[in-house]
Chain A
């Protein structure tokens, strides 16, 4: 019995999550149109080089922003440090594509910067003095300021776990502050920082909205364009294959680093709470300035820009069907949350009660979905459905199932499931990890059946984790762009797709209203969950 129910559910989930990967790998060897030959000799190298340039630039910048700010708020007291502790994660609310719109809107010819200068100093041609943040440079800035928080959160939590004993040891060895940072603090936090950078790397390679907006040819935009412009699914899958190779290397690196980060500190020897050093004078000023600039550029700037345009062009607010967008978003969030929570609970509970290695392996496979870019997931899903429809459904004499899965809410929710399953699974798993298995056994011995233990002991205990998972899923779905763009039903829009469509039609002012709503809703969710994201114990 045990084998059947738990294995079956885990197998189903794993198989489902693996569909896109299997599709991409099998499609790699299929023939394609001449377009592939043309691209192979011309653009494919460009796709790869652009992706790598973007990747390394973003990694350098996010390391500097994330680790620097985490170091300051973890080790020092300075004006505003308690605010910056959580304020710095608000940049998560601004997806790279919205950042890109703000950047362009501000620095473009006759943009917001021009207007400010004109109001301050009168009419003149300021355009030639205003720097232009477009193309590759704009994409690097947009993605970095949107994603540095991954490095910030993981580095900060690693710094927090560093015992005062470690710092005292540095003093005892007569290290200066810089030497302590260089020789003790950073090496000790290295696995966490690498884990953060790996997440940034995966997100950067998967990034679609911002690079598309700046018209940069990367692997992700290549996949999208092959499908949209040339209607060549096979070639889209071939590019996906290359991208997946990069992604999987990073996925493995991130997993290894996280495992090492977990065991990097020997807390058995005694953990001593750190005493933060109070900064005075210039040092305090520059620490505050550094954090404020990151907060300002990463969050306040895009928020203000979108707010400014919404106020300046109020007609866009009236044109937008806000009620529909809210209802669509709520509908997607609720449906996806219910499906994700049910399956994640089943898998987690199955793993817990059966404690089986194969089941654990299947669960690990199931959570690999988060590493796969949304564009790949969506295209691979379409490819798979098309193949299934042609090869099996029609062969059996049934009518086509394409409409059920492609361009439908069902298809959208299924692909969200693959993409966000790891969020739900890991969120519940981390809740379960706080509960010793002997707690279950105590319940059995008190006369509770497995079902009663689950309902009366597990669910009340996991209440907070479940809530946290729902908020995280909501946050991701609200920000999600490529999957929604590709798989949504006709005339079904979210804040993200509305902003994208307006921006791609060069109507940046119209993109401001949905972008502003998106930032505000996402900020609200981040503030609610900041207690968990930044937990110190």
Chain B
């Protein structure tokens, strides 16, 4: 008996059995309590409520949605809104973050100090506070609905949001759409050819320029061949006429709601500071000898950064960068504080109307967990490609 109790394997198994029993009891207790509480509150468990009519409006929708649509449709609208704001936020945050991160290492004292100040100020202020600032202070104090503030011709700002021209797809647009993947495929071919040629002759063809020309040129050529199948719908602004008719005419142009702009600004700026730090530490981790060797080969500062330092720094940058992308996506749920209809905000409304707490929370969790699993998988693939192949 004693030897059995002192045997590590036996003790390990015994402990795990006890662990599972306790955990199982806890889970069972929670499920039991929940079932009883739901029964008491007269709420039917299950996802049946998704087919019922939602009855509330959503101010920004990528797909058709009316008050008569179902709860499921409303949640889908919210999900797409989350993806749009997170996707654009990632693009802006990455661009700004890389610029600031490189600027922090600039030899120009003023540039590096300004970049440092930007990072140190913005990342030490809560995101929610920044969001409130952009939304309640900046965007709420713009000119009223009957006025406008013109940024560039055709792009105006007022309290109703950002009014931009809308692109109207015409017939034959598929040709342009098809030209884009064709151009991308062609660039792969050109890159391959360029590398081969460089290996063979030592001559380095201007791959970058050719690729850029392909990516821009091919769709443009396709656009003209198809007979310019893309109209532009400018927002119409009525300056005269009855007072109620003044301002931007509904249904013209594209209106980007202020909630979206506020959230996008706050998310991009806040995440950019973190990305800047990731980029800076990644670049600093590349040994100084690499820069010096590049300089002694005669490369200037720009090409050194682009061809020697950044490709090596990317290996270090990618994993924490992925984390920041996920953080941005998760932080986009702050939308609920300014009533931008993202998945969490719409879900909150549905939850209040139906009381289906368990189901709504499970949908949230499934979405965010799925997204983080997917992102880690994609980034893991890139990371593997960028990782150092050691013999």
A binds B: no
